[in-house]
Structure formats: C-alpha cells, structure tokens
Amino acid sequence: MAAHEITTAPGSAGTDTGPVPVACTLTSAGLAAQAGRWARLAARAMAGRTETEDGLRIRFRPGPSNEEELRALVAVENECCSWATWTVETSPAHIVLDVRAAGTGVAALHSMFASLRPSPPAHNAPNQTDDIAEPPALPH
C-alpha cells in the first residue's frame, strides 16, 4: 500500500499527534500471512461488512476460537497499521470489529477489506435441527 499522510483529530488521543503515515509496516511475507488469516476467519465466520463514514464495521459469528483469532489479528493490525483504531466488541449474537481512521485512512480501510465476503452460516449436522419444517398442507 502506498504511504499517505493523515492528521489525527485533535483530542482523539488526548492531543494532536500530527501527520500519521497510512502504511503497513509488515514485510511482504508478513502481509501475505496476515491476509491469509483474515481470509480464513472471514470464510468461516464473517456475517457482514459495512463501510462507515470513518472506516468499517465487520460482524463475525461467535464460535470456537473466532473471537480469539479476531483479537490476535487485531493485535497485529494495532502494531502494523497504527494509523487506524481497531476495536473488538462481543455480544451473544456477534463479534464486531470496528475500524476507524481519518482522511485517506478511511479509503485505505475500505479497500483493505473489500475482498472479504460474508460466509454462509454453518449448517446443522444431519441429526440436529433448529427449525422443524411444517408438513405440507393437505387439501380440505
């Protein structure tokens, strides 16, 4: 990704920190590994992606290791892409990632995750059902 400069909003972290480069500090190999981890998490758990005015919001389904993997990915992003603010919140229904930036950082966020698509919900095992289908109506 090309380096751009953005200015943090005054008071966003207590003071104006001045220009912040919009660039990833990962090596090519690190970037490829991180992208692969994001793709795998999205393929198994992503429920939705919404572009916001200042970044984006991605929802994930709760599941074995999904929150742990998302938090691990965000820890890397906090280091390599510190020009954005990465927040994870959980509820019984979803794990939500909010990513925010200013200036050209917003467009960078929108493009960084453009290829991620929601995954279909997991289907139940053959002997498990959440919904029992109604039998077809018989003519009277």
Averaged over successive runs of 10 residues, the pLDDT of the chain (140 residues) comes to 35 50 92 95 96 97 94 96 96 96 95 88 48 41
* pLDDT score for 51: 96
* pLDDT score for 18: 59
* pLDDT score for 36: 95
* pLDDT score for 135: 40
CB-based contact 61:45 (threshold 8 Å)? yes
**pLDDT tens-digit series, residues 29-66:** 999 999 999 999 999 999 999 999 999 999 999 988 99
Residue 3 within any structural domain of the chain: no
Q: What is the pTM of this model?
A: 0.73
* pLDDT score for 137: 42
* pLDDT score for 117: 86
* pLDDT score for 123: 58
Handedness of CA 47, 51, 52, 58 (dihedral sign): positive
Beta-bridge partner residues of 20:
6
Residue 89 within any structural domain of the chain: yes
Residue 127 within any structural domain of the chain: no
Give how far Cα 17 sits from Cα of 25, 51, 105, 108, 130, Å. Answer: 19, 25, 15, 20, 51
Residue 12 within any structural domain of the chain: no
Strand, coil or helix: 114: coil
102: containing domain? 47-119
Beta-bridge partner residues of 21:
5
Residue 134 within any structural domain of the chain: no
Residue 16 within any structural domain of the chain: no
* pLDDT score for 19: 62
Residue 105 within any structural domain of the chain: yes
Structural domain count, the chain: 1
- The H-assigned helical ranges of the chain are 28-45, 66-80, 104-112
* pLDDT score for 127: 40
